[in-house]
């Protein structure tokens, strides 16, 4: 990772973009970490406010309309099974650009990086996203890297879903300090020891890759299968 930027004064305003079709863990993993950072003021904003439904049918209410938020110290954009509606929404992309102009850190998880790309924030940047759409970053002028998370300037991008927790812990160390971040890691007992060693394409057999792609394409409970942006 590159050197840390100057730590922010508290309270630290952290805004998550919530939207219909987002992947729950993309947002909730980092939320669990960042909401516990001392002095953090965390809120969820959605295109029209109110409730959103994730790609597996979970519902979250109480979102603030994006029109009501003009700045943030940290912006985090989670991914989803199909982010194409966001990539084609000029109003939302204008908002992302506007908030990014005020942030100290702008972050994404999984296909949320494509939203940052569509907003023009990844030009000449190194970035990562879910392995299934990693090469899509090139059309936004980014250099795709196969890492759990990538820091380039004030941008932090995490790869697929669970990697958002790794990225959030690294961000917590910047917002507070490494000791606090490690305390948060212990507090949430984040000590991965999966039963299988198949969590990255480089570790998977052809059969596992085929099965994973089939699972990604399978329609979710709300009828939203995993879609790769054109």
Identify the active-site residue in 110, 114, 127, 176: 110
> Annotated catalytic, 110?
yes
Angstrom distance (rounded) from CA 217 to CA 9: 44
- Give the CA distances from residue 206 to residues 81, 194, 200, 226, in Å, rounded to whole numbers and listed in that order: 22, 20, 12, 20
Closest CA to 181 of 38, 8, 24: 38
Spatial separation of the C-alpha atoms in residues 53 and 20, rounded to whole Å: 5
Q: How far apart are CA 40 and CA 18, in angstroms?
A: 18
Q: How many residues does the chain have?
A: 230
DSSP conformation class of 50: E
Separation of alpha carbons 57 and 35, rounded Å: 23
Task: Outline where the chain has alpha helix (H).
Answer: 24-34, 84-87, 90-100, 112-118, 163-175, 178-187, 206-217
50-53/59-65 β-pairing? antiparallel
User: Annotated catalytic sites, by residue?
Assistant: 110
């Amino acid at each position: 990772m590159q050197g840390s930027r100057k730590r922010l004064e508290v309270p630290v305003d952290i805004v998550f973009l919530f939207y219909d079709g987002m992947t729950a863990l993309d947002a909730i993993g980092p939320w669990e970490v960042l909401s516990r950072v001392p002095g953090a003021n965390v809120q969820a904003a959605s295109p029209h406010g109110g409730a959103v439904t994730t790609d597996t049918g979970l519902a979250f209410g109480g979102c603030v309309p994006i029109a009501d938020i003009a700045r943030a110290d940290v912006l985090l954009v989670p991914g989803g099974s199909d982010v194409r509606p966001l990539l084609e929404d000029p109003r939302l992309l204008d908002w992302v650009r506007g908030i990014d102009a005020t942030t100290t850190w702008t972050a994404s998880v999984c296909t949320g990086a494509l939203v940052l790309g569509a907003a023009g924030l990844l030009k000449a940047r190194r970035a990562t996203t879910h392995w299934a759409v990693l090469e899509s970053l090139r059309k936004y002028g980014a250099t795709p890297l196969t890492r759990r998370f990538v820091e380039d300037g004030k941008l932090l991008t995490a790869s697929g879903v669970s990697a958002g927790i790794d990225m959030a812990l690294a961000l917590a160390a910047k917002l507070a300090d490494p000791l606090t971040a490690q305390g948060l890691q212990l507090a949430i007992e984040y000590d991965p020891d999966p039963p299988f060693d198949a969590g990255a394409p480089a570790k998977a057999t052809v059969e596992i890759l085929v099965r994973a792609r089939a699972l990604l394409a399978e329609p979710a409970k709300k009828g939203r299968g995993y879609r790769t942006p054109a």
